């Protein structure tokens, strides 16, 4: 279970303090698949970071009794001078898991072949995404954070990601940020709509999507 109580988050900007999250209360239970919708800059990714613990909230509490993943297929932690293997080894070290078993899986799933022994700096963005997704799948979490991930890779790779994530791990909790209609509809059973730093929960996808469409028609203001 993950419980957020009264989460707020402010950032200092030139125009003064900006409040991105204005008192969020949210409980995620094991097996929940939560889809998050909202405009650019609404605070979706900030919320993901707070839930993942990458960033502390300005006020409020986060209680976690489930292990929470880093944002899936996230490539930022890679060092461009390190090889794919080195980056995998780093992840294995900090999570304290056996490297050799993981290596076999990453080789097989990423299909990067000898590129795994090259510095990540020479990878194409698609190859990075493959590596990142494969590495994400090597650690077993109770809750996966998924931030706009499936846009990467070619169709066959995307299909395999889907199987790996939504079929093999469908009993896990998931938090999915996406703008994709198709993607959210089939996978989530709870929907959150971001609006002015607050969230409204919907159970029905068509309902939330209609609201989201309305929201998009309003002029964007930052």
Q: Which two tokens stand for residue 21?
A: 């999250």
Shortest Cβ 124–other proteins spacing (Å):
15
Q: Which residue has the tokens 């809750």?
A: 143
Q: How far is the CB of 68 from other proteins (least distance, A)?
A: 7
Minimum CB distance to other proteins, residue 119 (Å): 8
Q: Rounded CA gap, 218 and 180, in Å? A: 19
CA dist., res. 152 & res. 49, Å (int): 21
**Closer of 68 and 208 to other proteins (Cβ):** 68
Q: 146 vs 208, which CB is nearer to other proteins?
A: 146
Are the beta carbons of 207 and 217 closer than 8 angstroms? no
Q: Which is nearer to other proteins, 128 or 190 (CB)?
A: 128
Token code pair at residue 216: 């998009």
Q: CA-to-CA distance for 187 and 182, rounded, in angstroms?
A: 9
Nearer to other proteins by Cβ, of 79 and 181: the residue is 79
Nearest residue to 150 via CA among 190, 108, 179, 115: 179
CB of 163 to other proteins, least distance (A): 10
Q: Which is nearer to other proteins, 77 or 126 (CB)?
A: 77
Alpha carbons 130 and 20: distance in angstroms, whole number: 32
Q: Cα separation of 177 and 202, whole Å? A: 15
Rounded to whole angstroms, the Cα distance separating 187 from 84 reads 30
Name the residues that contact other proteins, by CB under 8 A. 45, 49, 52-56, 67-68, 70-71, 74-77, 79, 81-83, 86, 89-91, 93-98, 101-102, 104-105, 108-109, 137-140, 147, 164, 168
Least distance from other proteins to the Cβ atom of residue 37, Å: 19
């Amino acid at each position: 279970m993950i419980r957020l109580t009264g989460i707020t988050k402010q950032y200092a900007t030139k125009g003064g303090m900006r409040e991105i999250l204005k008192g969020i209360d949210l409980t995620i239970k094991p097996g929940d698949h939560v889809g998050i919708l909202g405009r650019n800059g609404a605070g979706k990714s900030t919320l993901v970071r707070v839930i993942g613990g990458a960033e502390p909230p300005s006020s409020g509490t986060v209680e976690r009794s489930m292990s929470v993943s880093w944002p899936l297929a996230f490539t930022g932690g890679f060092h461009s001078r390190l090889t794919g293997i080195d980056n995998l080894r780093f992840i294995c070290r900090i999570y304290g898991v056996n490297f050799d078993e993981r290596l076999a899986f990453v080789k097989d799933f990423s299909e990067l072949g000898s590129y795994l022994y090259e510095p990540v700096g020479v990878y194409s963005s698609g190859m990075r995404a493959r590596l990142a997704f494969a590495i994400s799948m090597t650690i077993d979490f109770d809750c996966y954070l998924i931030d706009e991930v499936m846009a990467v890779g070619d169709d066959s790779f995307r299909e395999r990601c889907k199987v790996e994530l939504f079929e093999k791990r469908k009993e896990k909790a998931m938090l999915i940020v996406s703008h994709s209609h198709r993607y959210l509809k089939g996978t989530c059973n709870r929907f959150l709509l971001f609006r002015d730093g607050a969230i409204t929960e919907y159970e029905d996808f068509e309902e939330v999507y209609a609201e989201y469409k309305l929201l998009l028609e309003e002029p964007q203001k930052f």
